[in-house]
Amino acid sequence: MDSDKELAISRRGILAGTAISAAAAATSTLPNSAAAARAGANSAMPIMLKVNGQSRPLSLDTRTTLLDALREHLHLTGTKKGCDHGQCGACTVLVNGRRINSCLSLAIMHDGDEITTIEGLGTPDKLHPMQAAFVKHDGYQCGYCTPGQICSAVAVLEEIARGVPSHVQEDLTAAPRATNLEMRERMSGNICRCGAYSNIAEAMAEVAGVAG
Ligand code: FES
Ligand code: FES
């Protein structure tokens, strides 16, 4: 890689990191749901979330994150809280088909949005293809990061199919392909402390139809 390219990539990395840190700083001052509840009902607001195909009316403190709304109010504990600062990806869910870190987003920003959590992707009797591939390829050890990894992996393959470019794409005018490098780059926001990365990549390759 030439030095101009390296410089451009490192600039993008710094800008992306700065944006994430700023967002994390903004939401890290948010109280958790227990503290929010103690703050009283004055700031409560009615919203409707469409979660896993069901309308779920809620009255929430306006400072409640989407992650806390899912876990603490709707008791959908499949979505995990890792860092609560937008740095690990454990809280990844799909909102209107796009992945987001739910710890960095306020629930009231999603009134009427379609939210899919790991509980809505498949069932124990009828796994989503990505869930089945994670099982087949041992794409997890402790499993804590796995719901976020699977939601992210599903979104990554959709991003590639839609032609969304990435930082490692050599030719931005060409359609991206589900290569190992592309998938690893796009999954880089999902940390696995158990180091199951190779197995996750194998699972994704199988679902993408590019398994060796
Ligand atoms: Fe949201 Fe870590 S818990 S990114
Ligand atoms: Fe343990 Fe990823 S499977 S953190």
With a Cβ cut-off of 6 Å, ligand 2 is lined by: 140-146, 192-194, 196
- CB-CB neighbours of 105 under 10 Å: 21
Q: Let me know: does 31 contact 39? Beta carbons within 8 Å.
A: yes
Q: How many whole angstroms from 83 Cα to the centroid of ligand 1?
A: 5
Q: Could you tell me if the CB of 145 is within 6 A of ligand 1?
A: no
Identify the pLDDT of residue 23: 45
| Number of structural domains found in the chain | 2
Give the structural domain span for 89.
45-121
Q: What is the mean pLDDT of each run of 10 residues along the chain (212 residues)?
A: 51 46 48 57 88 98 98 98 98 98 98 98 95 98 98 97 93 93 97 97 97 68
211 in the same domain as 129: yes
Paired tokens of 4: 């101009």
Specify if 5 maps to a domain: no
pTM over cut 0.85 = no
Q: Could you tell me if the CB of 66 is within 6 A of ligand 1?
A: no
Identify the pLDDT of residue 43: 83
Specify if 21 maps to a domain: no
The number of the ligand nearest the C-alpha atom of 140 reads 2
193 in the same domain as 139: yes
Identify the pLDDT of residue 34: 60
Task: Give the separation between CA 140 and CA 154, rounded to whole angstroms.
Answer: 16
148 in the same domain as 104: no
Atom of ligand 2 nearest to the CA of 194: 1
Q: Could you tell me if the CB of 81 is within 6 A of ligand 1?
A: yes
Provide the residue type at 97 as one letter: G
132 in the same domain as 208: yes
Check which CATH number belongs to the domain holding 85 and give it: 3.10.20.30
Identify the pLDDT of residue 4: 56
127 in the same domain as 210: yes
103 in the same domain as 132: no
Atom of ligand 1 nearest to the CA of 102: 1
81, 92, 135, 144, best to mutate for ligand 2 pocket (most atoms within 8 Å of CB): 144
176 in the same domain as 130: yes
